Chain A
């Protein structure tokens, strides 16, 4: 099961490497920077929307159907984009990569989540951590690979079209492994030698809540705020990482070169990816609520340290930024297990899809805050760390809001629980398809 999940997430994680295509598109199709970002932005919006609206379908039709839909949409999105580049019709690139491919992103992102937690009931955090780490790792593969293909085919519209075409075909083949391998465990499956603990933590529910009921609970919306705040704070630093480290130390004896700043960005990507597996696995041991206390509480302290230290210590600046980015990644991968603890595994994939709208909001909010404030401070004549002090204060405040929201999360009221018979009937209905795990 983990390779199946990874084959999908490592593919769709390519979205984070879209920036590789921006300069060639801008020069060959005479586009502005804003226009060339459109396919990516639409893709992320479609990710949130398709995960939110397609979650119930994913639960109903199973992970194999979801991975197949993701494969078809993501790959055909590249093929339509290739046609757009070849015919110099940019709207086709936006439609293909952003709209069609974006549906593939959303459905693919949630496709393995609930199945992984059913296969690994003893370590749900680690299980989802592996898959969601793959999403972070997808850009690591795609970024150098896409650059090499563009070098090979050329950066004119024909070369971009050929590169998109190779991407579409290769990702279809790569994701096919997931479609072929994915299996739902038989009903009542447990890892050898593992028994569910008799005394669960009070935050871990043994009851199930439907996706429709979940969004009526305060717990869902508190968790929405938690995810939104944690992601906003992480994106804030990720978005401006290269100029930020450059600005921070420009007035010191050891300014940071553009090459070193690129190395810093790469290191942040590694922390983002490692945090997805490390912290999510740790949440299996210390509990989801405690893990988010660390992400939000220690995260706020790290931002405070960056604000207070100014340009006095480059190593400390780097360490704090790495910790923040590892918490950003961990926040993504721990949330499915948190949902499972609160709402059970019944429709956790669909609930996760709805929660991902927090990501779409954070994706707009984080960069907007940091860019807007930095521009404003620059106009006010500030330089160095002063450019970012207000942004950092805002990020600390957002993390505190998230911390409070996490503290307010309590077990779900029994009136939202599915009646035991309804859940059993739904499972029995799904059983023929699940038998033999063939969906």
Chain B
């Protein structure tokens, strides 16, 4: 529930060893489970 404030920190720590994607959402609403699931499946491909 922010614009992805931590994604740069994750990228720094991962050092290119893994793909990093941000699923950011603002507006006072949670990301939906299916939105997270779609992202997980996309990254797993």
The judgment on whether A and B are partners is: no
Chain B residues with CB under 8 Å of chain A are none
Chain A contacts to B: CB under 8 angstroms:
none
